[in-house]
Structure 1
Amino acid sequence: MKTSSSTLYDKDQVKKATHALWETYNDPEKPAFNPSQELWLNMTIKEASPQRSSKPKKISLKHAILNEKDKVCLITKECETRYNKLLKNEKSGYIEKIIGINTLETSYKSPESRCELASMLSIFFVDIRVVGQMKKVLGESFFGPNRAPIPIEIPRPKKINSTIIKHLKISSIMLSNGVTQSAKVGSLRMDEREAFDNVCSAIPGFVNIIKGGWENIMSITLKTDKSPELPLFISIPDKYVGGEDKNKT
């Protein structure tokens, strides 16, 4: 797909790309079936920033990246008992397990127990007050792609679920000093329509955190962990739009 940067991107192209990925990788009858993959929005920029960002940038998404079958683990500074009452007495949404930092240190010492914990749950959030202890407590192997616990400020117990849902609708990006930037905007575990919505809601926010905005965007593509990149937007200098160099005399 080719377009002038002044026309931004085409939602029909986003729809086609999303459908192609779901048809290829989320159909049990297809040989490439692999619904555990994440969905990535990649941007190639014309002029890279000379420095990496020191803090993650946030992009709002329309839907939570997980689906109703995925479960969340919350790691807290305090004992988990006060929070576990929430799981028993109230509708807790995605939250499946709450673990206090002391319990994590004593009950999950072995690599086997940590692997079991990681396999049982889809995503981990951690109280920002103890995020610095995570690598020591969980070990380096726990911090694989998309596995590192996401730091959040723990609110009052009754507001935990709404806080978790809010963070599940955010994609955090550490901008590099290279020309390619990537943001996770969904997964094949999601409904195809919701994934499409997330891509459309993420593109403007992603562009806004790039220095120079649309004028600095060379291309935007969509892919999963295993797929090739599918084009959503390709910038062509205005002088070439229409098939000829407007600056030629």
Structure 2
Amino acid sequence: MSPLPPQPPAATSSTVPRETIDRAVGALLKWHRHHPPPPSDNFIYLILSLKTTPHNGRRRSFRLSLPNPLFSSICIFTNNSGVETQNLNPSPSILSVSDLRSLYSSRDSLASLSASFDLFLADRKIASRLPNLLGDAFYSKKKKRRSKEPVLINLANPAWPNKAREILGSTQLVMEGGHCKGVRVGRVSMERKEIVENVAVAVEAAVRCVPKKWYNIRSIHIKSTESVALPIYNESGEEDEDSEVALEQDKGSKRKVLAKKLKGGVLKTVKRAKR
């Protein structure tokens, strides 16, 4: 895990104006009032479209601090159940290796466990045993499930609660092969202001993790699992139509259609500021 990049102030000028982010978040939340997200994945994602593939395809991970935490429930996998939770908020559930073997031996029970918590942590000492214990419900190659792979921490370190708090207050950006990078920045259930704050901070922090910074950013969007991607930045500086776009799926053909246009125009692109 690479060290945390320096975080920008909570309220600073940005290449992407807050007003642009606020209009996009408002459009997304309005659409979701009529199209509730699945309970298992109500996250909002920041999508970076890059001009070139970073780091020659090598995998690198960064933790980006967020002003408003994304996780409301947490579970910790340990070698034994005698772990003090050290006043963590939210208070975590503790499951030992023996608990996993006795209570969660079937695929259905593991799927239920995976859906029961927002975030999973695990002691490094048992890392090699976890793939066999947890199976595809946690270690599936499908992108929608990979987010449930436990984050490893060292429970033998007396300062482990501080590391856990850092993870709870951040989101993970993975840089590897490909031109599009997604990172969770909010939840549909959060307040609009909280999501806007998270997006504004995450944009600046994520761009600093990209080789060549803003010169390698083609566009930036926000989206949920079920929605169309809403642009908040476009390197070309060209303006989109003055319309707010929502995604509806035709039940018969699963075809994407433009559902509603609103007066005032949401998503005008922003000219890139050379940095």
Please indicate the TM-score interval, normalised by the length of the shorter structure. Answer: 0.7 to 0.9
Structure 1 or 2: more helix by fraction = 1
Q: 1:112 to 1:106 in 2, by over 3 A?
A: same
The equivalent of 2:5 in structure 1 is: none
Q: CA RMSD in A?
A: 2.4
| Contact residue 52 and residue 174 of structure 1 kept, 8 A | no
Shift of 1:179: 1.6
Deviates more, 1:222-231 or 1:36-45: 36-45
Q: Sequence identity, in percent? A: 20
Q: TM-score by structure 1 length? A: 0.78
Number of equivalenced pairs: 218
Q: TM-score by structure 2 length? A: 0.71
| Contact residue 67 and residue 169 of structure 2 kept, 8 A | yes
Deviations 1:201-240 (A, max 9, x none): 11111101111101111111111111111111111279xx
The equivalent of 1:64 in structure 2 is: 69
Shift of 1:108: 1.8
The equivalent of 1:40 in structure 2 is: 45
Aligned counterpart for 2:98 among listed residues 97, 102, 119: 102
Shift of 1:129: 2.6
Structure 2 counterpart of 1:110, one-letter code: S
The equivalent of 1:130 in structure 2 is: 126
Q: Spell out the pairing of 1:1-249 with structure 2 (5 A cutoff).
A: 8-25=15-32, 27=33, 30=34, 32-34=35-37, 36=39, 37-49=42-54, 51-66=56-71, 70-77=72-79, 79-83=80-84, 86=85, 91-143=87-139, 144-154=145-155, 162-236=162-236
Structure 1 counterpart of 2:15, one-letter code: L
Q: Secondary structure at the match of 1:73?
A: strand
Q: 1:167 to 1:75 in 2, by over 3 A?
A: same
Structure 2 counterpart of 1:72, one-letter code: I
Whole-Å Cα distance in 2 between the matches of residues 132 and 58 of structure 1? 23
Q: Which has the larger radius of gyration?
A: 1
Structure 1 counterpart of 2:27, one-letter code: A
Shift of 1:94: 1.4
| Contact residue 154 and residue 160 of structure 2 kept, 8 A | no
Shift of 1:120: 2.6
Structure 2 counterpart of 1:108, one-letter code: Y
- Indicate the structure whose relative CO is greater, using CA pairs within 8 Å and at least 6 residues apart: 1
Q: 1:212 to 1:97 in 2, by over 3 A?
A: same
The equivalent of 1:246 in structure 2 is: none
| Contact residue 68 and residue 194 of structure 2 kept, 8 A | yes
| Contact residue 10 and residue 233 of structure 1 kept, 8 A | no
